[in-house]
Amino acid sequence: MLYVVRHGQSVWNAENRFTGWKDVPLSEAGINEAKNVGELMKNMDIHIDYMFTSNLERAKDTGRIISSYLGVIPSKSCELLNERNYGVYSGLNKNDVKNDKGPEYLHKLRRSYTYKPIDGESLDDVVKRVGVFMNNIYTDTDYSNDSSNDSSNDNQNILISAHGNSLRALFVHLGIKNKENIESFEIPTGQLIQIDLETKEYKYLNPFRFHGRQILDSRGNPTVEVICKNSNGKTIGRGSTPSGASCGSKEAYEMRDGNTKFNGKSVMKAIDNINLINNTMVLKESNMLNLRNIDGQIVQIDGTKNKELLGGNTTTAVSFCALDAISKLRDIEKFEYIQEMTNNTNLLFIPTPLANVLNGGKHGSGGLQIQEFMIFIHEEYDINRQVEILHDVFFSLKKCLSAKYGKSSTNLGDEGGYVPCGMKTNYEALDMLMESIIASGHTPNKDVFVALDCAASEFYESDNALYEIEENVKLTGEELRNYYGTMIQKYPFIKSIEDPFDEEDYVNWSEFTRSHGNTINIVGDDLFCTNKELVEMGLNHGWANSLLLKVNQIGTVTESIESAQLMLKENKKVIVSHRSGETNHSYIIDMAVGMGAQYVKIGGLCRGERIEKYNRLLEINDIILDKKQI
């Protein structure tokens, strides 16, 4: 087996300078990187029979440090493994070159396969000399030693300690990479890679590793859970992926097996893809403390628009797991890390929860077309008071429903709201909410407000451009705008409407936002799919004034935060949301608090996976108060 390692960070690496053939020593960080590689190889019980290094001290010193962990290793240095010669650019700062020549020239200088600077080498030149090394010195060296009876390098473990470009050249020589894709292939300092010369397969060896398993979500369907372990086998992070019932067409791809197991809903293919992530990601401690870096690597490995290679359910679980691992490694709360990550310098506050109390559409089996009728409490009330009032109204509603529609109308939907059998019209639902709020001893439009999730794409008929807003009531987009306008006027406690139109009915979105956006939240869910590109388009065209953020719609925590920050920068609203098929972690609450989102959407006051999120709100409130941040 062949192992290769890029030398630890040099002093010039730390200063962002071109090194090339200049003999530059390791920095303190580089010495530690080399020590970490040695410790990792020792923990993984990797025995090295022979080592090659370049002639440059930073590569030789890296090899010496690694050897101190593994014992004496026969070795040979060879100038054919030296770094690429940057010629006249050696020693220059890369940012200075960028400012002088432009970013495109800097990229060409660093990564072009054929470009050769004055007095320097192209990567093609390096490939040729590395090829000479492999075809002659590597194959002709006598690997025999006292501990082995087999002198064939085919049966030996060989380590090469060299440089970013000479190792990239090696990958091209071996046929693992080619001159087209080598430009995007990065090897960080202090990174250990294992190469099988027979299969041409390689994998990054890291002190951290992700492991996947299939678990069940709140609807009993399979989903992905990921744990992160360190090199000692200790679990340091955990994350899992929720699943939606009504989904936007532009959401990240949810990978399921489509076989006979779990009615085709098993996720073993998605879990298998975690091996690809492990083998091609850099998971050193410096990376494991940086969620943007981890999520960026995930996006690069997948390389598709909607996570079609890895599966959005895979990437979401890994991203959540990484967030959890970072908080544990740093011994801080997840919301504190998100606050740092988003550069949120504002005082932290507890977002207002939207509680699902009546389920229709795909979340229930009653007669309502609107998918969710939610309530929320005045934002100025503290979270303990808000939860108390939510409780009062939720159980008052149960009594009112039972009295009018029978006990069967208090059955629960996917998100913990009641499913009122026999209730056919949206006006009936709003009247019932009005009645239950008053019966609970609170005042509509003062203490308690209503938010609707229409999920209009589910009742939109694209062939005739009509919306069946109620059974046998079909309206044009303009008529539906008027329908909502009348409803808002009659029920002024309605302060938020989510997905009032089909996800691509942009004209009606814009018109409705123009006419009502100053008085209520008009929330894009399927409209935006937590996608930064769609959010930018929506801001430019005035589609909506609020974003519903769902991490698994886009596939990583970082990407979802980027979408939210676009909205918050424009003083728009962000609602961090659960899904109908949930799991028992509450990381979305930490996200909402850390980034400064105004609302969280987390379901009814029942079902453990929803209650977990309410309890996290209460817990974070106490933590913040204890730290006197508010």
β-pairing verdict for 494-498 and 521-524: parallel
Q: Which of 407, 417, 398 is nearest to 360 (CA)?
A: 417
Q: Nearest 5 degrees, angle CA 479-CA 423-CA 471?
A: 40
Can you tell me the distance from the alpha carbon of 189 to that of 164, in angstroms, rounded to the nearest whole number? 8
Tokens of 75: 């070795």
Classify residue 160 by its DSSP letter: E
Estimate the crossing angle of helix 587-595 against helix 312-330, to 10 degrees: 70
**Please, are residues 218 and 313 in contact by the beta-carbon 8 Å criterion?**
no
Q: Which residue has the tokens 């996570």?
A: 307
Strand-pairing partners, residue 53, are 77, 161
**Amino acid, single-letter form, for residue 460:** Y
CB atoms within 10 A of CB 569: 9
Strand pairing of 208-216 and 222-230?
antiparallel
Contact by Cβ (8 Å): 18, 85: no
| DSSP-derived secondary structure for 40-95 | HHHHTT---SEEEE-SSHHHHHHHHHHHHHH----EEE-GGGSPPP-GGGTT-BHH
- Whether 415 sits among the annotated catalytic residues: the reply is yes
Q: Computed over its alpha carbons, how large is the radius of gyration of the chain?
A: 29
Candidates 33, 251, 372, 415; catalytic one? 415
Distance CA 139, CA 572 (A): 64
CA atoms within 13 A on the CB side of 290: 12
What distance in Å separates the CA atoms of residue 159 and residue 249, rounded to the nearest whole number?
A: 48
Catalytic residue among 550, 572, 573, 601: 550
Name the one residue in this structure whose structure tokens are 């079902």: 607
Q: How far is CA 233 from the centre of its chain?
A: 24
Whether residue 76 lies in the annotated active site: no
Catalytic residues: 415, 550
